[in-house]
Amino acid sequence: MGKSCELRKISDKRVVWPLIDHTDPKQPNFRLRTITQKDIEAVAELWRASYPEVYGSVHEWILYPDEYKKRVAFAENWEEDSVTRPNAVIVGEDITSKKIVMSSIYTKWDQNLQVEASFIAIHPDYRKGSIAAIIWSNLALFYKWLENSGAEYVTVFCETWHNITQYIWFKRLGWKIAGIFPGNFTRWAGCEKEYRGCTIHFYRFLNNGDKYSTKLEEWDLLPEIRDLFDVMEKINAQSTEEDL
């Protein structure tokens, strides 16, 4: 393998989180910024209100403030945390009320030069309407800022309890479908019950990541899987970048 793409020397691979502090001139009340230690309680509370389905799953740490202290890069300690911490949290703040109205969590794997957009939630009081529109258009900028992080492969998984994030990543951010994963993650169903939810996975290359990726011509695929790939390529040609 590796005949259909460029090869490179294995070097010290590293993703460095970008520090975000951005106020939208069109919506001066809305500030998108990197989490600080003072925000931990409010952010964990936002996840408990907006994404309780992760309770009992591999992702439940986002509900618990103590976990943030070990995993997340904080603005106060940026020089070190931006390199060493596996998770970045970008929050949206309503400047007038000082309330955190949106949170998004990213995960990096340095050796794979990969960033996963792991979670996003808007507080139920701020969904739909103008603030939600501003949140989405500002968040699109994050992927521009990631271009300077060293990442070359960005991924996201979208839950299937609505299709709004599938639409954003496929039609507005231009990401490609990687696959449908039925039963991928356990999710809370209320009380002490759970189910296994289906997630849709998307990807996008940054910084020439595609140059180092093997191509169809050297993949050994079962005929049925080749058929599937052809269909995916046809569908992926319909992905658009309305927000970029």
Ligand X SMILES: CC(C)(COP(=O)(O)OP(=O)(O)OC[C@H]1O[C@@H](n2cnc3c(N)ncnc32)[C@H](O)[C@@H]1OP(=O)(O)O)[C@@H](O)C(=O)NCCC(=O)NCCS
**What residues line the site for ligand X (CB under 6 A)?**
50-51, 53, 120-122, 127-128, 132, 158-159, 161-162, 164-165
Q: How far is the CB of 48 from ligand X (least distance, A)?
A: 12
Question: Of 113 and 158, which has the nearer Cβ to ligand X?
Answer: 158
Question: Of 161 and 219, which has the nearer Cβ to ligand X?
Answer: 161
Q: How far is the CB of 107 from ligand X (least distance, A)?
A: 14
Question: Of 113 and 200, which has the nearer Cβ to ligand X?
Answer: 200
SS (H, E, C) the chain: CCCCCCCCCCCCCCCCCCCCEEECCCCCCEEEEECCHHHHHHHHHHHHHHCHHHCCCCCHHHHCHHHHHHHECCHHHHHHHHHHCCEEEEEEEECCCCEEEEEEEEEEEHHHCEEEEEEEEECHHHCCHHHHHHHHHHHHHHHHHHHHCCCCEEEEEEECCCCHHHHHHHHHCCCEEEEEEEEEEEEECCCCCEEEEEEEEEEEECCCHHHHCCCHHHCCCCHHHHHHHHHHHHHHCCCCCCCC
Q: How far is the CB of 92 from ligand X (least distance, A)?
A: 10
Question: Of 17 and 185, which has the nearer Cβ to ligand X?
Answer: 185
Q: How far is the CB of 23 from ligand X (least distance, A)?
A: 20
Question: Of 3 and 193, which has the nearer Cβ to ligand X?
Answer: 193
Q: How far is the CB of 170 from ligand X (least distance, A)?
A: 12
